[in-house]
Chains A and B, each alone.
Chain A
Amino acid sequence: MKRRGLAGWIFAGPALIMLGLFFFLPVLFAFGLSLTNFDLYSLADYGNTEFVGFANYAELVRTPLFWKALGNTLYFVAVGVPLSIGLSLGAALLLNGGIGRLTGLFRTALFAPVVTTLVAVAVIWRYLLHTRYGFLNYGLDRLGVEPVDWLGDPIWSMPAIIFFAVWKNFGYNMVILLAGLQTIPNDLYEAARIDGASRWQRFRHVTLPALGPMLLLVSILTMAGYFQLFAEPYVMTQGGPVESTVSVLYFMYDQGFKWWNLGFASAVAFALFLIMIVFTLLQYRFARARGMA
């Protein structure tokens, strides 16, 4: 028994050491940093750093821009995650439904945005979203809609970012869900059909329950990813206009690397970490209650 335990530790050892060295240690260090006032002056002389307890967290709660950033992030998550998963599921169903030999082509085409470089496609999207020359406004113009200043108007900037992020990411979930769909035995559908279930009923009572665990996984991963919104606004809007696309992570980046308030920025990172844990637990609870996991 004891020897088996040892063998287990030896096998798990390398992975644990790596995790400890490159994950737990930095996280611990960052937490320690969040309890200090490490800033520009500390960079000049490390002796200038002091332990301040939870002062950074107290300060954070009093910072209006943090709340604004949190609001923006929640907006992004609340709209982006369902939209992204819905789109992934829809695309997966269509692909699974059989478009014959074209399935492979479409699967590749829809997955392509995931493997493209974000910065490169962001440049193209900036053109698509351009107020005057953008393709999107050209389409709207055809429909008789006034041109929208997508990235310059505080009302439309976040929808534009969501649009872009969903387009960029939905292929990934689509592939996971497609794999899930393909594991559902055909007999179940057959049996349902014989029982007279309609298309919708088959989806509702066969497909969805069978996909349950997959959907939970996908939604947790997507939510965790979407909470960490950063690159899209960094490349497309730099947080503007009027702070309408500043996310929590963007706020942290500004604090940490623009103003070099590393102590405060670490506190922001931990606040975000806590928020994400809470949301993930809630999601898990919800799924358990629904019998999905």
Chain B
Amino acid sequence: MKGHGLVISLLLLLLSACGNADDGREVVRFWAMGREGEVVAQLIPEFERRNPGIRVEVQQIPWISAHEKLLTAFAGDATPDVAQLGSSWVPELVALGALEPLDARLTASRVVDARDYFDGPMRGNRIDGRIWAVPWYADTRLLFYRADLLRAAGYASVPQDWAGWLAAMRAIKARGGADDYAILLPLNEYEPLLALALQQREPLLRDGGRFGAFRSAGFARASDFYLRLFDEGLAPRVTNTQISNVYDEFARGRFAFYISGPWNIGEFRRRLPPERQGDWMTAPLPGPDGPGASIAGGAGLAIFARSQHKEAAWRLIEYLSRPEVQLRFFELTGDLPARRSVWRAPALAQDPYAAAFRVQLERAVPPPAVPEWERIAQQLRIVGERAVAGQLSAEAFRATMDADTDRILARRRALLAEAAR
């Protein structure tokens, strides 16, 4: 009995707590993921001060379950008003009809200026000719490298095209021991190969995302180059997890190049020993014939179609997109701003490691915008790993990719055909 009394009083307390919060302000439910979710709470009080009629309820969701949560929320009719969306999820949610197009609001906005945004991330959020999310921060992959090893091999800087880059890698490999390599391309990541593939003129899918186009001349160039790095012994055939510690091995000079993303600027600063701090640098990816493209990624902010508070939700997006808030967000998270104007701030403009990202973001290309892309990319990793291991020839690798992709896209084709009829 006593226990019951306790439970009831606790419930009452909870109810009254909820009651207190209901202060007549409009409530905007905002889902943010991982570290961003933790940090964004610090930016909200200022927004609420400027918009006294709005209260923002931030729900922090771990990255690992965020995607499932969003789909389940849609199925259960419990989507939030605004959410942070990984760029690869946007096509999926658009296919579901879960999102609100933002074009009209974007054109009318005096805060969010579409022209100020990097083209790649913005383009990734444009599907069927409409904008579905405003980039919040940008992400791309490029080279982290050991400048001292490169210099020792006779290069003052990273060559800008594949031929020069390959020659530099050979020179580095020739100087190192049998266990030393020129580049680390972890087999449990599809991003390095995808970045090389996005540098090509040929798209990865054809006929409006109905079929795979992995047997194109472009993907042949990219995959041959990629596989060659392993065949020549320039890259070890290992996954990230098989290497005891990427930072230790990089500091030891076991490899000179590493394709990775912006979060590693902070990690390299923190994890490389002090005596190595002067030796590493970042550089844009070399391309087939001159400076190359890379993957446009990151996360955007989107409004859900079922939201009852779209106006308030848009105000929150506008606030988070203000250059000064973007800069503050960068300082809190290290996430790279998606707006060019923010990059003029000294914190970014004077950071030697960020400079390459600024350049690369201008040359960032979004992956194909079909809902099935994430699965195709996983397939690229799994089949690619088999090609690297020598279980598949380069030709068979590309044919398998096309076959698998066509299978994954079968439903999409059927529905598109039906819609056309």
Q: A: which residues have CB within 8 A of B?
A: 37, 39-41, 43-44, 48, 65, 131, 149, 152-154, 238, 240-242, 257-260
Contacts and interface: CB of A to CB of B under 8 A. Distances in A.
Interface stretch (B13-21, B67-75, B264-272): B67-75
Counting chain B residues whose Cβ lies within 8 A of the other chain, the interface size class is: 20 to 34
Given A154-B241, A259-B375, 5 more contacts: A40-B371, A153-B241, A153-B242, A242-B239, A259-B374
A242 B188 contact: yes
B188 A43 contact: no
A104 B37 CA distance: 47
Contact of A37 (B68, B244, B411): B411
Given A39-B411, A44-B97, A48-B415, A149 B71 contact: no
A44 B239 CA distance: 37
A44 B95 contact: yes
A37 B408 CA distance: 12
Interface in B374-412: 374-375, 382, 385, 411-412
A258 B64 contact: no
B228 to A, nearest CB: 23
Nearest to A241: B241
B389 to A, nearest CB: 11
B161 interface: no
Given A153-B242, A242-B239, A259-B375, A43 B415 contact: no
Nearest to A237: B241
Interface string B80-112: 000000000000100111000000000000000
25 contacts: A37-B411, A39-B411, A40-B96, A40-B371, A41-B95, A41-B415, A43-B71, A43-B74, A65-B382, A131-B244, A149-B241, A149-B244, A152-B241, A152-B242, A238-B64, A240-B188, A241-B241, A242-B188, A242-B241, A242-B385, A257-B68, A257-B72, A258-B67, A259-B374, A260-B71
Contacts of B188: 240-242
Contacts of A65: 382
A135 B412 CA distance: 50
Contacts of B67: 258
Contacts of A260: 71
Nearest to A242: B239
A259 B408 CA distance: 11
Nearest to B95: A44
B241 A44 contact: no
B239 A241 contact: yes
B241 A240 contact: yes
A65 B381 CA distance: 13
A254 B415 CA distance: 23
A97 B236 CA distance: 56
A68 B244 CA distance: 25
A153 B71 CA distance: 32
